Amino acid sequence: MAPRSAGKNAESSDKVGVICRALRRAIIEQALEPGAKLPEDSLGERFGVSRTIARHALGQLAAEGLVELRRNRIAVVATPSWQEARDAFDIRIELERLVVRQLAGKLTKPQIATLNAHVDAEDAARDGTDAVSIRLATEFHILLAHMTNSPILVRYVSEVAYRCCLTLSLYSRPHSSECAINEHRAIIAALVKGDEAKVMALMHSHLDSVASRALVAPAPQRGRDLLDILAPYADEGGSERVVKLPKVVRVR
Amino acid sequence: MAPRSAGKNAESSDKVGVICRALRRAIIEQALEPGAKLPEDSLGERFGVSRTIARHALGQLAAEGLVELRRNRIAVVATPSWQEARDAFDIRIELERLVVRQLAGKLTKPQIATLNAHVDAEDAARDGTDAVSIRLATEFHILLAHMTNSPILVRYVSEVAYRCCLTLSLYSRPHSSECAINEHRAIIAALVKGDEAKVMALMHSHLDSVASRALVAPAPQRGRDLLDILAPYADEGGSERVVKLPKVVRVR
DNA sequence: GGCCGCCAAACTGCATGCAATTCAGGCGCT
DNA sequence: AGCGCCTGAATTGCATGCAGTTTGGCGGCC
């Protein structure tokens, strides 16, 4: 219970951080869809900074996997493959099991209140847009991570949760949030009760159900995926082996 | 076994990537100790690039937790607290259990050969410097992660493994590698045999033993830790509440 | 001697400029 | 009409320059 460093991470007080946070939020609220272009100029202009800063922000987001950066090409919002989405959920399950394992029976009263308040907010937002519900649902998990007081865990859970959001907006159109909210409440209850095994199982099944609701089919063909299919053949090895094909595929 | 995208990540073909890799390696080989200063100028000069690029590289490494970036201050190699070290190992254990779970019984012959060759290399390096053994031991784990063909898993395992290296160089001076090598061999054997539960247990105990060998004591006082102890009291909240104290503490 | 404040050097924060590359659309050819 | 080339506009890669901040050491003062 001893307060560890809740330290601000590297990006939190400068303009780069502002841009990162704004873009992250735009991405998880699906205002920016996967594949959306992010030119440095436009970003810089929009946020009132120079390209240098916008570029740096894109670098950070790329390191988090939210943005794809290819040399000499416009940055785009990442478009994870179905398999990557699945992988992200697998990792997320393990990380969040770790979170609730550390938290079981150790929550303070104010923490419990905070969690309940958050779920209430999720409830209240049920008749709002999907974007907001998704964001709130994700933030619930990040909130839990924060309560471990482990900056590393916070970072990884946040990142992977954002990535999962991204895949949700790619592979699952309808978002039914009521059940998720109930599951959140169940998790809080089990955490308070301190039943470690139970809460780990709950979290597991919660995430697993979100994942399987979202990632139902391997969906080999969906939307603009032709390039994804081609990608593995094109980017193998270090030496820019380029697949030569007639320019048939056109994105957007 | 279908080959997924083994895609190069964002940083791998430009000068930024070169600097990042060089610094990462220098850090895990302890050529750069925790706390070492990394001025943008010097880096740029050393690598023949401008400050802009060096700065960008530092940003990436900061995102990975290897470097600490404080506004208007020289970047330094990260100095994780003991608790952060412990957290990193906890996360690492979960992630690597996931790795070997995915890999159990699914290794191809060439993969097995690669792994064996690597452990042989570890063996051969036993009478070299500690730095090299540590690096090789870490690379064994990253090699395993690569074989899952999951770029996300590779990224997280690599990051957290590097962080653990960093803590090793902080909190544990002597490095006994023989047992680690044997444990690596045992893991390979169990992977080949396909015994999922066994290999997960092996990996768990392997990492746990490394961790407990390294992080024996809570070590509240060790080296330069005064600042770490003070940190939680100083950096709480967003608004730069600075602890005012006579300049007694001096680092280096 | 020890402590405080000041000042120059060092360093970062950021914008801008130039070269190189990619992109898009039009033109000519078949 | 369809296909390919070619050119200008858009965009990135990177270095440099300037302004603001920190650092560390020197001199003065107690």
Domains detected in chain A: 11-23+31-79 (1.10.10.10), 82-214 (1.20.120.530)
pLDDT of B239 reads 35
Give the distance, in angstroms, between residue B73 CA and nucleotide D23 C1': 10
Handedness of CA B88, B92, B93, B94 (dihedral sign): positive
Instruction: From chain B, pick out residues whose CB is under 8 angstroms from the CB of A83.
Output: 4-5, 150
Q: Is A95 on the interface with B (CB under 8 A)?
A: yes
On the question of pLDDT at B198 being above 70, the answer is yes
pLDDT top residue among A110 and B129: A110
Mean pLDDT for B200-215 is 88
Nearest to B150 among A12, A69, A87 (CB): A87
On the question of pLDDT at B126 being above 90, the answer is no
pLDDT top residue among B111 and B210: B111
Which nucleotide's C1' is closest to B246 (Cα)? C3
Of A237-246, B171-180, B196-205, B243-252, give the range with the top mean pLDDT: B196-205
Mean pLDDT for B22-29 is 92
Q: Which residue type, as a one-letter code, is found at position A252?
A: R
Q: For the complex shown, is ipTM > 0.90? A: no
Give residues with Cβ within 8 angstroms of A196, minimum separation 6.
A100, A101, A104, A105
Mean pLDDT for B63-67 is 95
pLDDT of A221 reads 43
Give the rounded percent of residues in chain B with a pLDDT score beyond 70.
77
On the question of pLDDT at B207 being above 60, the answer is yes
Mean pLDDT for B17-41 is 93
Q: Is B4 on the interface with A (CB under 8 A)?
A: yes
pLDDT tens-place string over residues B44-57: 999 999 999 999 99
Which helix (H) or strand (E) segment holds residue A227: the answer is helix A226-234
Q: Report the range of poorest mean pLDDT among A95-109, B25-39, B161-175.
A: B161-175
Nearest to A152 among B10, B87, B152 (CB): B87
- Please state, rounded to an integer, the average pLDDT across all residues of chain B: 82
Identify the residue among A152, A162, A203 best suited for mutation to test binding to B, counting B beta carbons within 10 A and taking the highest.
A152
Q: How confident is the model at residue B210 (pLDDT cuts 50, 70, 90)?
A: confident
Q: Is B91–A95 a contact, with Cβ atoms under 8 angstroms apart? A: yes
CB contacts < 8 A (A, B): 128
Q: Which residues are bridge partners to B185 per DSSP?
A: none
pLDDT of B178 reads 60
- Rounded to 5°, the CA angle A30-A32-A34 comes to 90
Identify the residue among B71, B91, B163, B235 best suited for mutation to test binding to A, counting A beta carbons within 10 A and taking the highest.
B91
pLDDT of A63 reads 95
Residue with structure tokens 């036993």? B126
pLDDT of B6 reads 33
Give me the average pLDDT of each 10-residue run along chain A (252 residues). Answer: 39 78 91 92 94 96 95 94 92 96 95 96 85 89 96 96 87 67 94 94 92 67 44 40 35 34
Q: How many other CB atoms are found less than 10 A from the CB of residue B23?
A: 23
Mean pLDDT for B53-79 is 95
pLDDT of B121 reads 93
